[in-house]
Amino acid sequence: MKHLARYESYIRFKIVFLLLLGAAVVLMALWAVSAGSADLSLKEVVATLLGRGSRQASMIIFNHRLPRIMTAIVAGVGLAATGCAMQCILKNPLASASTLGIAQGAAFGASFAIIVLGAGLQNQTLDGITIINPYLLSTCAFISSMLSTLIILGLSYLKRVSPESMILAGVALSSMFAGATTLMQYFAADVKVAAVVFWTFGDLGRTGWQEIMIMTVVVLAAFLYYAFNRWNFNALQSGEDAAKGLGVNVTGFRLLGMLVGAFTAAIIVSFIGIINFIGLIAPHLVRRVIGNDFRYLLPAAALMGALLMLASDTAARLVVAPVILPIGAITSFLGAPLFLYLVFKGIGGGK
Amino acid sequence: MMQVQALSFAYRQDQPVLQEINFAVEKGQCTAVLGNNGAGKSTLIKCLNRILKPQKGIVYVHGKNIYQLKRKEIAKCFAYVAQHHAGARFTVFDTVLLGRKPYIKFEPAPEDFRIVETIIKQLNLEDLALRYIDELSGGELQKVMLARALAQQPQVLLLDEPTSNLDLSNQYEVLAIVREIAKKEHISVLMVLHDLNLALRYCDRFLFLKNNRIFAYGGMEVMTPQNIEEVYGVPVDVQEINGIKVVIPFPRNN
């Protein structure tokens, strides 16, 4: 029984790591609430959150900062969890929601809504963009990003293609959507093109409490689905035949897992625009510490995603305040060097 | 205990891989599946627990039709060890624990941990329990995969070339463990083997595949020079040295 005790302490290490990561997210969130163009002290923030703050502080926090921060956390959790699941399902370290053409699909849908259906315009205020019909825009972005996923999953179901082929199909469809978007922009008026470009940057300030509720429900459902299937994910890591031998219905599980991930990512992207790299990088960052065991990898990746989103958003708001930089640009800009570092240190760790 | 009846399989309709396979194995028997490359040995193994779905045929274990069971139920009956292993970053303990997957509802029960403990001890893997499997040697990894399969507490153990990546001492160690456990736990073992001497040493039943069909199936009596030459196309002699039967090949073009 000696090594069972050692195993338990090894598991305890993972749990401690998760708790630390969770604490980091909470602290980061509190700091993000307090930091900004109107400085609030941490004390004020806590008092306001407990319902004992001044009216002005309540206004700033509940109308401006808290929705942003909730959006960052929910989107971070959602993108990281789906990225983590897709990397396991496709057995490819490069897989994430963007791999299935979701980002490019959403960009196409948004362009279509703005340029053809007239859902938004560029204007001269600081916000830079007026979305005339946000629901039309989100709906178009969602439909078009799901379209690319459904094409890929449909093909893979009919022709029983390998995970590698699914990724290649995603690359092909991404390129097709990007081409179509470019063509549409080429013939569009400047103000509309500017609005499209602005939309694709990604912005956490677009979401109200209602959108946040929708996102939270979807992300929570996806997370629970993945958590419920954690042993299936672990089995899948040992190879397709081995997973079948362990009693996993591989084909069905793979399709449903991808569908859940794509749906979640598409919802997030169509509400807040394109956020790169979070879904790709968050799982890799924690995998080095926590290993491939999906029981711990999933929550760790989700927390890391939330942390990265909060950090990026806070950076986006503070670097050249009061101008808010587009968060999509920040995550790409900071994500790429981090990713390069991981690649050269060896993804998966230890090798 | 296990009966295979009229099993036929093809990846493509016009290219049958297995045709009309009929055989039965008893409790505790070690069966070697023999034949040339491409004879359908691995395919046969994978058809038994429905990793591949045969177009025709039935597999019974203790009178139960396996193809009517859910995958999870099949996994309680059959354990499968693949020829190649994906070396993911899991500890040995977690890998063996994964063998309990068909039994785990939400989290492993104390019983599951106890079984994993016992198997790890049985295979002398205690010192490796917390090592990552992508850092193990081929022999160690093969034993871990065997341990995972045993954690499934199967009635039938399917091994696809269990010795292909192992050195001489590991080949004998792994097969000796398999044989011992088969006898002790009354598990039927089917293994694809290329080395006829290993088969002679550790198996008590021999199944030759040729031209998509069973060419011969039986005990030591089917391991004749004539059968082996017909199946492999190489003349051989079967001798007994120190009471151990060995096959000595005499390829024609040498």
DSSP A136-162: HHHHHHHHHHHHHHHHHHHHHHHHT--
Lowest-pLDDT choice from A323-337, B71-85, B93-107: A323-337
Nearest CA in chain B to A239: B86
- The letter for the amino acid at A319 is V
Nearest CA in chain A to B51: A244
**CB–CB contact B86 A238 (8 Å):** yes
- Residue B190: CA atoms inside 13 Å, Cβ hemisphere, count? 30
pLDDT in the model for residue B224: 93
What is the percent of chain A where pLDDT is above 90? 38
pLDDT at B73 over 90: yes
Condensed to tens digits (0 to 9), the pLDDT of residues B125-137 reads 989 999 999 889 8
Condensed to tens digits (0 to 9), the pLDDT of residues B187-225 reads 999 999 999 999 999 999 999 999 999 999 999 999 999
Nearest to A167 by CA among A280, A247, A291, A333: A280
DSSP A285-331: HHHHHH-S-HHHHHHHHHHHHHHHHHHHHHHHHHTTTTSPPPHHHHH
Nearest to B23 by CA among B221, B157, B206: B206
pLDDT at B111 over 90: yes
pLDDT at A214 over 50: yes
Give the pTM: 0.89
- Give domain limits for chain B: 2-85+154-249
CB contacts < 8 A, A to B, total 99
pLDDT at A157 over 90: no
- Quick one: CATH architecture of B2-85+154-249? 3-Layer(aba) Sandwich (3.40)
Closest CB to A234: pick one of B98, B134, B158: B98
Which domains are seen in chain A, by residue range?
Answer: 2-345 (1.10.3470.10)
Nearest to A260 by CA among A231, A214, A219, A296: A219
Cβ neighbours of residue A18 under 8 Å, at least 6 residues apart? A296, A299, A300, A303
Contacts of B113 in chain A (CB under 8 A): 4
**CB–CB contact B98 A239 (8 Å):** no
Who wins on pLDDT, A340 or A218? A218
The answer for A 217-256 residues in CB contact with B (under 8 A) is 231, 234-235, 237-239, 241-242, 244-249
- The letter for the amino acid at B172 is Y
pLDDT in the model for residue A123: 55
CA–CA min distance B221, chain A (Å): 33
pLDDT in the model for residue A351: 36
Burial class of B38 by CB neighbour count within 10 A (0 to 12, 13 to 18, 19+): exposed
Who wins on pLDDT, A207 or A108? A108
In the block, residue with structure tokens 């806590």: A46
Contacts of A350 in chain B (CB under 8 A): 89, 132, 134-135
Closest CB to B80: pick one of A10, A242, A350: A242
Condensed to tens digits (0 to 9), the pLDDT of residues B10-53 reads 988 888 899 999 999 999 999 999 999 988 999 999 999 999 99
pLDDT at A251 over 90: no
Helix, strand, or coil (residue B237): strand
The answer for A 30-89 residues in CB contact with B (under 8 A) is none
Contacts of A91 in chain B (CB under 8 A): 86
**CB–CB contact B88 A237 (8 Å):** yes
Mean pLDDT of chain A: 86
pLDDT in the model for residue A320: 81
CA distance between the termini of chain A? 30
Nearest CA in chain B to A9: B130
Separation of alpha carbons A116 and A132, rounded Å:
13
Contacts of B79 in chain A (CB under 8 A): 245
pLDDT in the model for residue A152: 86
pLDDT in the model for residue A2: 59
Contacts of A291 in chain B (CB under 8 A): 89-91, 132
**CB–CB contact B49 A293 (8 Å):** no
Q: Write out the two tokens for A323.
A: 């101008």
User: Looking at residues A124-153, what average pLDDT do you find?
Assistant: 77
**Chain B residues contacting A, CB < 8 Å?**
46, 49-51, 70-76, 78-82, 84-86, 88-91, 93-95, 98-99, 101-102, 104, 113, 117, 120, 126, 129-130, 132, 134-135, 149, 152, 158
